[in-house]
Structure 1
Amino acid sequence: MSIRRENLRMVGKLVVVAAGMFAFGYALVPIYQKVCDALGINILAIGERQVPGGSTALPSNTQVDTSRTITVEFDANARGPWEFRPAQRSVQVHPGQLTTVMYEFQNVQNRRMAAQAIPSYAPRQSAAHFNKLECFCFNQYTLEPGEKKQWPVAFVIDPRLPKDVTTITLSYTFFEVGAPVPSAPSAAAPAQPRS
């Protein structure tokens, strides 16, 4: 009989522990909200709440530095027989502002091709401050003969970009994958002196 009584006591303890765990899990959401509010962690959710007597407009993005304007120029280099160009040559942006531009590509060959783009930046120190959120350069693409595509580049320039940088050039070189890459154009060879 004592074993049966011990088993019943153990089951009772387990039921109490399970009920306590359920209650704690149920109470975690309000506890989490109170802790975040007290510590100021969940700042973004504050703008989503209705404030009595206050404006319902969302606060402006304080990450954008409207005191500065950066010119971003776009360049495209096609290393092969296809058409590749930006939809626009330049944009004016503020550091911290999300911007999206499009690049256009067309396979003008009579065969299927796989290609990829490689980005570069000028001046060189701007590369660390040019944050791409979406870019076609992350993937390889297969295009059918005559197929046209448009690809977005979404980016944000870090407000910590040095103040002396007012223009950034984003350049892409588009090349065929799996095919011999043509050599880069070189300066004319110097003339050999005659003997």
Structure 2
Amino acid sequence: MSLSPRPDRARLLASDNLRMVGKLVLIAGLMFGFGYGLVPMYRAICTALGINVLSVSERNLPGQTRAGQAANTQVDRSRTITVEFDANARGPWDFKPAITSLQVHPGELATVMYEFRNRQPRTMAAQAIPSYAPKQATSYFNKLECFCFNEYTLAPQESKQWPVVFVIDPKLPKDVTTITLSYTFFEVGGKTPPAPGSVAAGPAALAGKAGS
């Protein structure tokens, strides 16, 4: 006696299997398409809502602007702003920017490192205050990360590096082509010095009022 299924039953099983395979292939295709289209959909939503999301990998190396990445629609590449960096040390220590100037486009994320070394034979606590020139640029210079107004303790001969991550607002007036960012670093506990009245390293005069 043969145990083989009847021909009509075999055809029915084969048809069911084919339908199941087809459904699985369709589901896999839809999942792949959804995953592939998720990134451009996310970017389109962020662009429509005016959200600019930057991952850690998109941040600059010290003293450099971003390169080799997708264009940011919020960057005004028709303009170039020269940002000058200045440091004023009020005491026996070394304080300076890693670079003296950087050219950026409005809306472009940029980073500069400031270097500090305590040359004293004792531990000290200090902090920095910023100022800008021209004064009208203060409200357009947006710092995402900054060491200003924070108090730091440094051991004798200890060295530190601190980043300043910033973006210049594209609404910056058209006649402003150069901005000077200056920091005055002073020891906490002493009299806070006034913002510098001039910058030796740059042509622009600094504002008398410190910005945040």
Work out whether the TM-score is over 0.5.
Answer: yes
Out of 110, 118, 126, the residue aligned to residue 99 of structure 1 is: 110
CA deviations on 1:160-186 (whole Å, 9 max, x unpaired) are 000000000000000100134568999
Q: Distance in 2 between matches of 1:81 and 1:137?
A: 19
Does residue 137 (structure 1) correspond to residue 148 (structure 2)? The answer is yes
State how many pairs are aligned. Answer: 137
Judged with a 3 Å threshold, the aligned counterparts in structure 2 of structure 1 residues 80 and 181 are, in CA distance, closer, same or farther, namely farther
Q: Secondary structure at the match of 1:164?
A: coil
Amino acid at match of 1:43: I
Q: Distance in 1 between matches of 2:169 and 2:47?
A: 24
- The correspondence of residues 44-63 of structure 1 with structure 2, limited to 5 A, is 44=46, 60-63=71-74
Q: List runs of 5+ in structure 2 lacking aligned partners.
A: 1-40, 49-68, 198-212
Q: Secondary structure at the match of 2:102?
A: strand
CA deviations on 1:21-59 (whole Å, 9 max, x unpaired) are xxxxxxxxxxxxxxxx9xxxx71289xxxxxxxxxxx96
- The correspondence of residues 163-182 of structure 1 with structure 2, limited to 5 A, is 163-181=174-192
Judged with a 3 Å threshold, the aligned counterparts in structure 2 of structure 1 residues 185 and 89 are, in CA distance, closer, same or farther, namely closer
Query: If the length of structure 1 is used for normalisation, what is the TM-score?
Result: 0.64
Off by >3 Å, runs of 4+ in structure 1: 180-186
Q: Secondary structure at the match of 2:180?
A: strand
Judged with a 3 Å threshold, the aligned counterparts in structure 2 of structure 1 residues 157 and 108 are, in CA distance, closer, same or farther, namely same
Query: If the length of structure 2 is used for normalisation, what is the TM-score?
Result: 0.59
1:86 deviates by 0.3
Counting aligned pairs with the same residue, the percent is 73
- The correspondence of residues 1-195 of structure 1 with structure 2, limited to 5 A, is 43-44=45-46, 60-181=71-192
Q: Distance in 1 between matches of 2:80 and 2:138?
A: 17
CA RMSD of aligned residues (A): 2.7
